[in-house]
Structure formats: structure tokens, C-alpha cells
Amino acid sequence: GQSLEQPSEVTAVEGAIVQINCTYQTSGFYGLSWYQQHDGGAPTFLSYNGLDGLEETGRFSSFLSRSDSYGYLLLQELQMKDSASYFCAVKWAGANNLFFGTGTRLTVIP
Amino acid sequence: GAVVSQHPSRVICKSGTSVKIECRSLDFQATTMFWYRQFPKKSLMLMATSNEGSKATYEQGVEKDKFLINHASLTLSTLTVTSAHPEDSSFYICSAREDSKIKETQYFGPGTRLLVL
């Protein structure tokens, strides 16, 4: 069925770079989005890949490869405030809503 | 950017009572709004799609008689959890899609944490 798989947890050191992958089985979506969610808060939009390739927004970059059926979010110069959950999301063809991945809990340590 | 508000932010109620949650798009019109539910350390799961002026579309497994949705205007959708039980305790998040935007972007409300005792 349709699913977006992410690693459940990632730990990285402050100042480092971390990559969070999102893999899928079924294609047929319009684009891949990434959202950040702090504990108790709402998801906030980070990045969107409508086409294959790399999109850069400040410290955050996102990549999509439809031929390889995966995308990733790259966070550079990690800060403590980046500790949060990160979700990839797609809108499947024919659907109105966003479908969220399993989520990755990022913990940044000193 | 576009702002979506939810009210209340937190609610505690007794089992058997009904709870209404409001979702408002503050500076844009939204024909379509979405209601998600999120359990601790889990992903967001779509419950239903709220359509202004028509009936909501519910996802499989979501009881429409238990989770009543009303989308009476282009800026307001309400979710009523009827006869709430402890298993309904969760984080409920709404989102709205701005009608005027071409790019597919959903704006999320801050969420409502429901605790049913």
C-alpha cells in the first residue's frame, strides 16, 4: 500500500550535519514536502520538492529522486532548537490531503 | 504567512460529554480544511476532509456520527467529539488549504489536546 517510511530516531551533535531519509513504494504523487514538529506543537512547513533534485532553504535542504523512490531532508549546522520530529509528506494523485510519513525524532546533543 | 487558529488549545472533559473544537483561517479563505489526529510519538493521521457547504469526507475507520464536522463558512470548520471516551484522548490538529494559492500548501493550526477522564 501507500506508505512513507522514515527512521524513527536520529541523534546528532550540535554543529554537525544530519540527513533524514524518506522512502516510498508507490509513486504517483505531486511532490514531497517536509514538516517540523516540536513537542506539543503543530507541524510547520520546511521545504517542498516538486521536481527531482535539491532545494535549499538556509540551513535546510531537501532532495527528491523519483527514480530511486526516496527523498531526504538535510539539516546543516545543527542547533539545539532543531531537536524535534520531522515528517515527510506527499499528496497522492487524486487526493486532496497530505499523507504523512512515519516521522523521525531528531535529538541534538551538545 | 497564512495563519490558522484552533480553540481550545487544551480541554479536559468527563467521559460521555461532547467537545467542540474550532478551526479558523484568519487571513485567507479555505474551502477545504482537514482534521488530523495524532497519538503520542506517532504520525498525523487524517480523520476527515471538511468541505465548505457540503458534507465532510471521512477516512476509513473514522465514525462520522462520533466525530461531527461542520464547515459553515470559508474560514471556520468545527469538529465535535460526541460522547467522548478515554480512548478519544489525543492531539487534534486542523489544517487549511488556501483557495487562492496555486502551490499545494496546507497551513496547520496549533492543535487541541483532548484528555477524556
Question: What is the per-residue DSSP string for B63-101?
Answer: -TTTEEEEEEETTEEEEEE-S--GGG-EEEEEEEE-TT-
Average pLDDT over residues B92-103: 79
Identify the contact set of chain B against chain A, taking CB-CB distances under 8 A: 32, 34, 41-46, 49, 91, 93, 95, 97, 103-111, 113
- Residue A98 confidence (pLDDT) above 90: no
Average pLDDT of chain B?
Answer: 91
> How many CB atoms are located within 10 Å of the residue A81 CB?
8
- List CB contacts (< 8 A) between B103 and chain A: 48
Average pLDDT over residues B82-111: 86
What pLDDT sits at residue B67?
A: 97
Q: What is the pLDDT of residues A53-96, one digit of tens each?
A: 999 989 999 999 988 889 999 999 999 999 999 999 988 877 77
- Residue B105 confidence (pLDDT) above 90: no
Grid cell digits, residue B79: 469538529
Q: Which residue has the cell 554543529?
A: A15
- Residue A33 confidence (pLDDT) above 80: yes
Q: Do B104 and A31 touch (CB under 8 A)?
A: yes
Average pLDDT over residues B23-52: 92
Residue among B49, B103, B111 whose CB faces A42 most closely: B111
B109 CB contacts (<8 Å, ≥6 apart)? Answer: A42, B4, B5, B6, B23, B93, B94, B95, B96
- List CB contacts (< 8 A) between A87 and chain B: 43-44
